[in-house]
Structure 1
C-alpha cells in the first residue's frame, strides 16, 4: 500500500518514532503521520471475460469467415469466423482466433 503526502504529493516513507511506534513521513516537507493502529487495504479485482477484451459480444459479427475444420470432438463444422491479432513482438507471426459457426467452439493458432 502506498500513501502520499497531502501537501506535496510525494510518497510517504515509514520511520521509527521515539515512543516505539512508527510514523509515515514525507522526505520533502515536514508532514508526519503517527501510525497508532494497523494500516491495510484490500481490493478485489474481477477478471474481464475474453469477449470484453477483444471487442465485446459483437466482436464476431463482422469477422471474416473461412473454410477451417473445427477441432472440437464430435463437431463436423467446416466454417469458422476468424480474426488475427499481433500479440507478440513484430518478428513473430500473428495469432489467429477462430470460432466455429456450427458449435461455437473457440480456439487459436499461432
Structure 2
C-alpha cells in the first residue's frame, strides 16, 4: 500500500507542483496566451491563489509522510486537491472546454486520499 501511495502521490504532486508554479509565477495574460482561457473568468489574485493552493497541496502530499510528522495530513491534502479539481472540472465544463486533465487529476487525488488513509491506518 505504501508503494502504491508513493507512486500515485508522486505523480500527482509533480503535476500539481508544475501547474501551481506556473499559475503562481506567470501573469494572468501570459497564462491566457499559453492556452488557459479560463483565466478570463477570474481575477489575477484568484488565479495566483489557485496556483498557491496547488503548490501547497503538492507539498502536503509528500512532506508529512516523508518526515513522519502528522502523516494523516497527506490524505487530507489529497482530498483538498480533489475538491480543487472538482471546481476546475466545473469551470471547464461551463466554459465548454476540455475537462480531461482536471478529471484525471481529480481521480488521482481521490486515489491518493484512499491510499493515504489506508497507509496511515
Please give the range of the TM-score, normalised by the shorter of the 2 chains: under 0.3
TM-score (norm 2): 0.20
Structure with the larger RCO, 1 or 2 (CA within 8 Å, 6+ apart): 2
Q: TM-score scaled to structure 1, two decimals?
A: 0.21
Which is greater in Rg? 1
User: When you count helix as a share of all residues, which structure comes out higher?
Assistant: 2
Greater strand fraction, Structure 1 or Structure 2: 1
